[in-house]
Amino acid sequence: MLGVAVPGARAWVSEHHGSGRKLPYSWQLAEVNGVLIPVNTSNPNRIVAEALDAKTIPELAGYKHVRPELKYGENSRVDFFLEGGRRRKPCYVEVKNVHLSRRAGLSEFPDSVTARGAKHLRELMTVRQNGARAVMLFVVQRDDCARFRPAADIDPVYAATLAEASDAGVELLCYDCEVSTAEVVLRKPLRIEPA
């Protein structure tokens, strides 16, 4: 939660009554320097599911069937599997939550070392080598950034694996979100820069 867990920052939480959870609250939003930042890591998959249903991601439109959490590879689950498009190869979509911004206008991923993230990229490379489409979709849960870059200083292995995946034909997409206290909606693509 680098850049978001700021002492004194305003926070929004949701309460869970009788859910059997270990903790009764979930952290939903932080306000840092006047910017609302959703921090719930399960949000991006819901946001992308809604966008796929509404066909607001042009690069992923044209598929008839969307299956979430499909098992594939070496003990992995891809966030979305798209199939049934006319003259479209099956498509595996991995979604990553982005909230880190250390410089004005620049979003970054990851905010900590992520061996799991690098594993997902290797799984996507294998899918691509086997003839399917493979997409790494970064969802920037904030509306104050115009660009995205891998945080190579935080996780050089992830940044190198992302570059390797791109070279191997894995498609890289990045979208930001319109954020309010009422909703978070996928908004527009951001420019992706190399590490």
156 located within any domain: yes
155 located within any domain: yes
- How many domains does the chain contain in total? 1
Q: Best-predicted range by mean pLDDT among 37-51, 65-79, 159-173? A: 159-173
pLDDT value of position 75? 84
pLDDT value of position 3? 76
19 located within any domain: no
178 located within any domain: yes
CB 167 within 8 A of CB 161: no
Q: Is 118 exposed, middle or buried (0-12, 13-18, 19+ CB in 10 A)?
A: buried
What's the average model confidence in pLDDT over 149-177? Answer: 98
Q: Is the predicted pLDDT of residue 97 greater than 70, yes or no?
A: yes
What's the average model confidence in pLDDT over 66-78? Answer: 91
39-48, 128-137, 156-165, range with the lowest pLDDT: 39-48
pLDDT value of position 18? 67
Q: Encode burial over 21-59: b for 16+ CB neighbours within 10 A, e otherwise.
A: eeeeeebebbebeeebbbbbeebbbebbeebbeeeebee
Q: Residue by residue, what is the 3-state secondary structure of 80-144?
A: EEEECCCCCCCEEEEEEEECEEEECEEEEECCCCCHHHHHHHHHHHHHHHCCCEEEEEEEECCCC
50 located within any domain: yes
Domain of residue 119: give its range. 39-192
pTM of the model: 0.93
- Look at residues 148, 102, 145 and name the one whose alpha carbon lies nearest to residue 2: 102
132 located within any domain: yes
pLDDT value of position 36? 92
66 located within any domain: yes
CATH number, position 166: 3.40.1350.60
14 located within any domain: no
Q: Count the residues in the chain.
A: 195
Contacts of 30 (CB under 8 A, 6+ apart): 4, 5, 6, 9, 10, 11, 12, 36, 37, 39
- In this predicted model, what pLDDT tens digit does every residue of 5-45 receive, in sequence order? 788 889 888 887 766 778 888 889 999 889 999 988 889 99
Q: Is the predicted pLDDT of residue 164 greater than 70, yes or no?
A: yes
pLDDT value of position 19? 64
Q: Is the predicted pLDDT of residue 74 greater than 90, yes or no?
A: no
Residues of the chain with pLDDT > 70, as a percent, come to 99
- Look at residues 181, 145, 170, 185 and name the one whose alpha carbon lies nearest to residue 59: 170
pLDDT value of position 6? 82
What's the average model confidence in pLDDT over 50-79? Answer: 93
